[in-house]
Structure 1
Amino acid sequence: MKKLVGILGVMTLLFLSGCQVNKKAQLQALADCKYDVESVDQVKFNGKTLNSYKGADGNYSMSSIANIAVALFSKELPLEGKINLKITNPEAKKAAVNSFKYMIEIQGSPLFEGTVDQNVNLTQGESAIVPLTFKANIFNKAKEKGFDKFFDEIFNKKSEGFLVLKIKPSFKVAGQNIYYPSYITVDKNFGQKIFKLFK
């Protein structure tokens, strides 16, 4: 009986050890994947496409945008759109992603956080597109920085790091999502993907 208990104990330890090794391997597979913003579309500011804010000369009128913001007594100034995230597996080991947490930062502070559930299984060289939608109220940030300066920064200066996209992918074990321990920075110049739409 004692011998049987001992064998079961060893088998349990081997099983748990194997699970831990497999967990580390799957986390490494997530880290090894390449994440890129393929495109950004369906972008709206305050419920309208940014093209509707262009002046007669074809340039964006910062004063008209700021006036809209000032007039919003509800303090609601939504920026929304859809990010098409491209995931590529360059490694020989299969990469499996079950769910994503994603975050858009503005000047180092969280602007929007979301989660998308989509199973993605990639062998070497395979890619997949995962849509990430966002809708964030930028009123307080605009007010804090000054409306004219804020909109000039976001639409004209296109400075690096103004808008940053980060993700935290996961894989599933025994029905539970195991997330990568930290956010992975996908694009430090995420704002430029938006700016390109309005040239």
Structure 2
Amino acid sequence: MVKRVILLLALFLAACGRDDKRPPPRPSGSRPTLNIPTPAETRACFADLSRAGIRFSPLPDRDYGGGCSLIGAVQLIDIGLPVSGIRGMRCGVARAFVGWARNAIAPAARQMLGSDVVRVETMGTYACRNVVGRSGRPAKLSGHASGNAVDVSAFILRDGRRISIEKDWASSDPQVRAFLQTIRGSACKRYGTVLSPDYNAAHYNHLHLEDDRATFCR
């Protein structure tokens, strides 16, 4: 009887330990993300944002388990152009995004569409999930699972127009098409991976921008 009580108590304590400390599971069958920035790289990135006059807040490093994490991340507060939908993102993604918005999106809209961009709309940054659209291939964690990507969906102009990836990628207006192709081309010089509606159906409504040191633009 005593042995049985001791055994039940041991099983109970073991179960409690698992419930308290078990990390959230990674999406089923996925491989972890890589390219974690070093502390030195993160500090250098923070310095770059500060020199550019960007208001941002450094975020504490978080490991959510299963390969999902936010390391070397920031929350952008003010880049000089309103941006919707962004949350925590790796500093490298943020730095490239600032340069893209200031030096590509803004001048291209002014010169090609005759109006200033007053807001950029996104579909978010961090999300613990697998890459979508990989049918027939092994599951892989998305760059979003480490805050290393941002999905951009539309641009609001001062004259009231909303230029969206979903509705205007194949616009009948050649200037609108040229604007979207131009800013994608610029993004490809700043990010390792850029995916658009030309890549696959999963990207029909956004540009996926990822700071992964690759060289893939489509």
* Larger relative contact order (CA 8 Å, sep ≥ 6): 1
Name the larger-Rg structure.
1
TM-score range, shorter chain: under 0.3
Q: Normalization by structure 1: what TM-score?
A: 0.25
Structure with the higher fraction of residues in strand conformation: 1
